[in-house]
Amino acid sequence: MKSSAPRLEAFLAYLLVERGLSVNTREAYRRDIEAFLATVAGTPLAAVTKEMIVRHLAQEKEKRRAPATMARKLSSLRAFFHFLAAEGLITDNPTVVLETPMLPHKLPAILSPEEVQRLVEMPDSHSPAGVRDRAMLELLYGSGLRISEAVAANLGDFDLGAGTMRCFGKGAKERLLPLSSQAVLWLERYNKEVRPSWAEPSARAFFLTAGGGRITRQAVWQQVKRYAAQAGIAKRLSPHLLRHSFATHLLENGADLRMVQELLGHADIATTQIYTHVNVSRLRDLYDRTHPRA
């Protein structure tokens, strides 16, 4: 594995520089490839065969990995060996003939507008942390941000007077997002009443902890789950709960799919089309409940 380490590092650098993948995605690729290299330890990369990869993936599947995780592991190995072949480090790419497994189609959980209102009103508006959390929730739902994008936001990314913010999404792609009136109201309150007492003079992060550090996405997600429980929301939750709800509510109210794609920062509109399936599913539920011969 040691002899393979420089090639793995070169591949990870390629993912950063050429493909602009996020730190989390690169680390997932690193773990996947290191696990495979440990399985075939002692085998030169040029001698790796399709059968070795299939055996490794079968071993991983026996660990009860989720289908999406197995698909990513194959994707990691496929990208790695494609890189090695493109760089002339191997002659034959053993992943060329491997098929990507079909993933079960899962519709994202969403909240109704009434549930969103209950959720965002849960934080204690009389406490500094509550004001921050209300501002965060209004931002996540009002602009459809990923939690990671919200916590990465800096003070200079907001123009509250204009009601906009700059967001840097996956691959460091920049987009300019509108802010809802409620988001602006709570962001301004947090920025005037709370942030100054927590921030060091040189602090760039917008959302802070009481100790002055940038809040983490894990902390935000824990708060979202806590507030959802307090609001009596028993639905299957995900870190994208408010993002999914944002997109679905826009489409239900007549927004154009391309506009939603731009707001979400999806590179491929096929990713955004999941929300049209959500709409069809909800229509089917309504039909089944209301049509006399359904």
- pLDDT recorded at residue 63: 87
CATH number at residue 68: 1.10.150
Is there a single domain that holds both residue 30 and residue 143?
Answer: no
Spot the catalytic one: 61, 82, 266, 282.
266
Q: Which of 170, 190, 214, 258 is catalytic?
A: 170
pLDDT for the residue numbered 62? 87
Measure the CA–CA gap between 24 and 147, rounded to whole angstroms: 13
55 plus 154 within the same structural domain: no
195 and 151 in one domain?
Answer: yes
Measured between alpha carbons, how far is 145 from 240 in angstroms, rounded to an integer? 9
Is the residue at 92 inside a domain? no
Any catalytic annotation for residue 293? no
The range of the structural domain enclosing residue 75 comes to: 2-86
Shared domain for 51 and 128, answered yes or no, is no
Decide if 266 contacts 272 (C-beta within 8 A).
Answer: yes
Q: Which residue in 104, 119, 105, 68 sits closest to 280, CA to CA? A: 105
In a domain, 51, yes or no: yes
Q: What is the pLDDT of residue 239?
A: 84
Q: Is 152 helix (H, G, I), strand (E, B) or coil?
A: helix
Q: Extract the runs of DSSP E, i.e. beta strands, from 44-190.
A: 158-159, 164-168, 174-178
State pLDDT tens for residues 230-252: 999 988 888 889 999 999 999 88
174: which residues sit within 8 A by CB, 6+ positions away?
Answer: 166, 167, 168
CA–CA dist 32, 145 (Å, integer): 28
Last residue of a domain, one of 43, 70, 86: 86
Residue 102 lies in a domain: no
**195, 243, 244, 249: the active-site residue:** 243
Nearest to 134 by CA among 224, 196, 213: 224
- What pLDDT score does 4 carry? 78
Count other C-beta atoms under 10 Å from residue 237's C-beta: 15
| Known active-site residue 275 | yes
Q: Which of 56, 134, 146, 249 is catalytic?
A: 146
Residues written for the chain: 294
291 is catalytic: no
Same domain, 117 and 82: no
Instruction: Specify if 229 maps to a domain.
Output: yes
Domain boundary among 34, 51, 86: 86
Residue 31's pLDDT is 95
The CATH number that applies at residue 140 is 1.10.443.10
Residues 75 and 117 placed together within one structural domain of the fold: no
234 in any annotated domain: yes
What's the structural domain count of the chain? 2
In this structure, are 242 and 120 located in the same domain? yes
Asked if the structure places residue 108 within a domain, the reply is no
**Amino acid 266: pLDDT:** 84
Structure tokens at 229: 């429980």
pLDDT at position 286, please? 57
Which of 71, 86, 101 represents a domain boundary (last residue)? 86
Distances, alpha carbon 26 to alpha carbons 19, 68, 162, in Å: 10, 16, 35
Q: Token pair of 184, please?
A: 């602006």
Whether 279 and 206 share a structural domain:
yes
Same domain for 253 and 131? yes
Q: Are residues 161 and 202 in the same domain?
A: yes
| Same domain? 42 vs 119 | no
- β partners of residue 214: 208
Ranges in the chain, pLDDT < 70: 1-3, 100-107, 171-172, 277-287, 290-291, 293-294
Residue 104 backbone phi and psi in degrees, to 5: -65, 140
Check 7, 56, 240, 249 and give the catalytic one.
240
Residue 147 lies in a domain: yes
Residue 130 sits in the same domain as residue 165: yes
Residue 243 catalytic? yes
Within 8 A by CB and 6+ apart from 225, the residues are: 237
Query: Can you tell me the distance from the alpha carbon of 235 to that of 111, in angstroms, rounded to the nearest whole number?
Result: 8
